[in-house]
Structure formats: C-alpha cells, structure tokens
A and B are shown apart, each in its own frame.
Chain A
Amino acid sequence: MCLSIPSKVIKIDKEINVATVDTMGVKRDASLDLMEEGDIKIGDYVLLHIGFIMNKIDERDALDSIETYKEILAIMDEEDRKNAILEDDECPNRGD
C-alpha cells in the first residue's frame, strides 16, 4: 500500500492491456487491468504498484502543490531576511 511510485507512460499495448512505464530510465511493463479503457494515454504520469497502474496522477494538482511550496519558501525567505535585518539593526557592534 506504500511502495507505489510515480512513472511516465511511454507505450501502450492494447491487445494485452499492458503499458510500458518509465521511472527515471528504468522501464517496465505494468498491467492496465485496474484502469478504465482509454483512461490512460502515452505521456500520462501514473502511480505504479506491484506491476499494476493504480491511478493517473493529476498534473494540475501536482503543479498546484509545487506552486504552493514555492510560495511558502518565498514567504519564509522574506521572513528570514526581515529577521536578519532586525538582528543586524540590534547588533551592538554595528557602528552608526
């Protein structure tokens, strides 16, 4: 239930209902038996588990998450910068 990994679909064999997926240069076949016909297309990102494609990864949602993380990092950076300036202002050694 845990070791499921994101992969990209690079080939589909409709006859035996199997897709070939790529996980960073390692390719393997995965069964499409758990997906509805036509659901998975070449180029889709999918979740792979013990030789089966479990679900498609929603690209929009993935990108939204990554955007959120970037925004959080930007806010944190801003806060760190402000704090660093404050610390600097209060530093007794700062000549002025």
Chain B
Amino acid sequence: MNKTVTLAQGNGGEENNELITKVFYKAFKNEILEKSEDAAVIEDGKFAFSTDSFTVSPIFFPGSDIGKLSICGTCNDLAMMGAKPKYLTVGIIIEEGFSIKNLEKIVRSMKKELEINGAIIVSGDTKVMPKGTIDKILINTTGIGEILYSGISSNSITEDDTILVSRDIGCHGATIFASREGIELDSELKSDCASLFPIVKKLIDAGVNITALRDATRGGVAAVLNEWAKQSDICIEVDEESIPVSQEVYGMCEMLGFEATALANEGTFCLAIKKEDGQKAIEILKEFNLDATTIAKVTSKHPQKVILNSSYGTQRFLDTPSGELLPRIC
C-alpha cells in the first residue's frame, strides 16, 4: 500500500478494500464490523445501523442531486439488510459562499426521499468551512432501521440461490461522467438514484426467501458479485448476454471505454434468492422496472471468483474494478 492516500482508494473497488482492511478494520476490529454487510446488525438482530458520506460532484445531475442521494444511500443500506429505515442523523459540511437557494433545493430533495422511506431526521450537525477548503458541500447520513426480515447475509449464499438484478445497470456512473466538466456530452442519461425500501418491503410481504441483497454502488455490479463470491466462498457464473444495459449507458461505455458492470448505481440492487422463489421475485421486481432479470447462477467451478459466460462459448473472469475510473484511449 502507498504511503499517502490516493484517489483510487476511494473507488469502492480493490484499493478501497485494501485501505479499509489494512487501516480501519485493523484498528476497529470486532465481529460485527468484520461481517462487512451493507449495514451492521445490532442488538441481537433487532436493528440495522449504517453510515454513508456523500461527496458527489456535480451536486445536481440528471435524475437526482446530492440531497436525494444522501437519503437514498443510507436508507438503501438499511433496506439491503431487510430493515425499515426509521431514524436518520445528518452532518453537513458547507463551503463558505454556497448559495442558500441551492441548499434549500438539496434539503427539499432530502425531505421528499425521507417521506418515501417513512423515515425522519432526529439529529444533525452543520459546519461551514472557509472558501476553497472543501468542494461546495459534503453530507454524511447515519441511519437506524428496524429489521423486518432477519438472516440476510452476504456470507450465506449457496448453490441453492439464483442471482438477480433489479434493473438495467450503470446509469448513475454514466450520468455522473457525462455531467462532469471536461467531457462535454449531451445525452438522455439519467441517474437511477431511488429508494429501494418500497421494493424490499414488497418482496418481504410476498414471502420471498431472500438470502442476500446488496445495492451496487461504487464498483458497480462487478464489485457486488465479487464481494459475494469471496464472503460466501462460492463461484458466481454470469450469463453475459442477460445483463441489462440501456442503449445510452452502452453508448457511454463505448465512447469512454468503460464496462457497465464497473459503473456505480444508486437505485439498483443485486439479489440472491432461493431458486424456487426466483420467478416470484422477478415478477415483483418487474412491477418497478421491466428490465429486472436473472443474471447468474452459483456454482463451485472457481470459488471466490466471478465468471462471465459468453453466448458463443468463451469464458472470462469478471474482477473487482480497480484504479481510478479513467477512460481508455488507446
């Protein structure tokens, strides 16, 4: 590992994991933390507890803004453990000179998203930093949720499970890239940023046998599948053709040389469902997005690895993304 922190270590991929393991886990060692779930399960399985910080730039982008993201991010982490988001805290750090109008816009987005989740903000903190010391605004949200479906764990996936995805992938990452300065593109792209609790609630209410859920944030679907493969010591074999990608995201990926599976999502999640409930789960997911589909099966071919099977008989590994996400040139 380097002597100074690099940008890559914030990417949600390999380097990020290295930093977390070698610095943070090392110091904060405990059983709950080491489970590495989306949210911590505390008080004997009664509650889920999670935190997330939001540094997205630009702060307003097609389909969302940093406010909506800050609520979705934490609430989704709770929902991924089968918990109903109940209480959130928020810490906001604002750069001197930030427009109050924009601040109110952000706060309005947060309010709307809280309502969708049925959660409330019960405590908060505000700091203002001198101009130039931070980039406009940073938000941290921490949430507690009441677990409605216990036992969800990324460490328990087996060959009895089938792997699904809730909608087409890569929208958020592609949108952010398109909105950034320096790459002037004009497209129909929109972030997929959305609260996932309503979908999770429907799955729970329908009695679907859920093994694991994880939203595919930084590092994308590739990161999630690899985390699952490692944590559950399984092989995940993906049917490459089945992965849903929209035309616009496909176009962005072509243009900049990305793989859609490495792009971040903020309203898309992977599911590991007991095979017999697979169809039922897809039907429910399709009520929210028609692109929901089965993408992979669990085998023991190459434990701890994810394999992509092409439609014409070749195979390759799908690895956790690494490095800063840079467009390929040549």
Contacts and interface: CB of A to CB of B under 8 A. Distances in A.
Interface of A: 1-3, 5, 20, 23-29, 48, 50
A2 B189 CA distance: 25
A53 B251 CA distance: 17
Contact of A3 (B188, B248, B329): B329
Contact of B187 (A3, A26, A48): A26
Given A3-B257, A5-B254, A5-B255, A26 B330 contact: no
Given A26-B178, A26-B189, A28-B186, A1 B255 contact: no
A27 B330 contact: no
The B interface is mostly helix, strand or loop, or mixed, namely: mixed
Contacts of B184: 28-29
B250 A24 contact: yes
Interface string B167-199: 000000000001000001111110000000000
B179 to A, nearest CB: 12
Interface of B: 178, 184-189, 247-248, 250-252, 254-255, 257, 327-330
A50 B329 CA distance: 7
Contacts of B327: 3
A28 B248 contact: no
B328 A26 contact: no
A26 B252 contact: yes
Nearest to B246: A25
Contacts of B328: 2-3
Contacts of A23: 251, 254-255
Contacts of A2: 328, 330
Given A26-B189, A26-B255, 15 more contacts: A3-B257, A3-B328, A3-B329, A23-B251, A23-B254, A24-B247, A24-B248, A24-B251, A25-B188, A25-B248, A26-B178, A26-B185, A27-B186, A27-B187, A28-B185
17 contacts: A2-B328, A3-B257, A3-B327, A5-B255, A23-B255, A24-B247, A24-B248, A24-B251, A24-B254, A25-B188, A26-B187, A26-B189, A26-B248, A26-B252, A26-B255, A28-B186, A48-B255
Contacts of B250: 24
B243 to A, nearest CB: 16
A25 B257 contact: no
Contacts of B257: 3
Contacts of B188: 25
Contacts of A5: 254-255
Contacts of A24: 247-248, 250-251, 254
A48 B251 CA distance: 13
Contacts of B248: 24-26
Nearest to B248: A25
Given A25-B187, A25-B188, A27-B185, A1 B252 contact: no
* Interface core residue of B178, B254, B329 (most chain A CB under 10 Å): B254
* Interface core residue of B250, B255, B327 (most chain A CB under 10 Å): B255
